[in-house]
Amino acid sequence: MRLASLLGAGLLISATAFSFANEKKKPILPATILNARTVSVIVDPDAGVSSDAPLANKTAVEDVERAFSNWGRFKPVLSGMAPDLVVVIRRGNGKMVQPTVHGGTSPNDRPVVIQPNDKGIRIGGQKGRPPGDPQDDPQASGTGPGVGIGGSEDSFFVFDGTATDPTSSAPMWRYVGKNALHSHDVPAVGEFRKIVEETEKQLQKQQGQKQQQQNKP
């Protein structure tokens, strides 16, 4: 997965980045997102495990899943369950380069969890590599200190989960910003929700205008 280069470029993409380049306001998001019903949330495999906050990314995954569950539009599922969307997240700590611990358990290996949310409870677990996660280097199977290079801010990338290798192509939507994955409120999911709802409003408006034109004598 080539997320590191995107993050390293310091991209800051928000809802306005998909902007309304013309007065007609074309739909912002593709139908793939609007028609999706399930989502898998994984940690960027290139992130490594921060030695300062080793559980930061795993906690962020749980926060994002809870935010999706509370929203109710997309159901969080495991990556091996053929999700409609794959969301790749990564916590930043304000530094482009940070010490990490390599080897050992993958950040996407997860035990069975029972997680309450506003819609009830979610039960799941995961073991193994998510889509786009590179094969382990047999010469680097041990644990030890390392260095992580990537974005200094939190990132949230949305990919087409129905693709053979979802993360091999460009994300369909992305959000990068300070505290974008902040626990509990998770602004990135809030911005994603805004852009989804805005796209649907535009489509409804266009459909209404089209219907009016068809009804004209």
| Range with the poorest average pLDDT among 28-37, 66-75, 204-213 | 204-213
The model's pTM is: 0.70
> Phi, psi at residue 186, to the nearest 5°?
45, 75
Amino acid at 101: V
Higher pLDDT, 76 or 105: 76
Higher pLDDT, 52 or 137: 52
Total domains in the fold of the chain? 1
- Cα separation of 87 and 108, whole Å? 13
pLDDT of residue 211: 84
- Cα separation of 50 and 57, whole Å? 9
- Cα separation of 188 and 89, whole Å? 10
Q: Which two tokens stand for residue 151?
A: 């974005």
pLDDT of residue 90: 94
Higher pLDDT, 24 or 15: 24
Domain with 29 in it? 3-215
Structure confidence by residue, pLDDT tens digits, 168-215: 999 999 999 999 999 989 999 999 999 999 999 999 999 888 888 888
pLDDT over threshold 60, residue 145? no
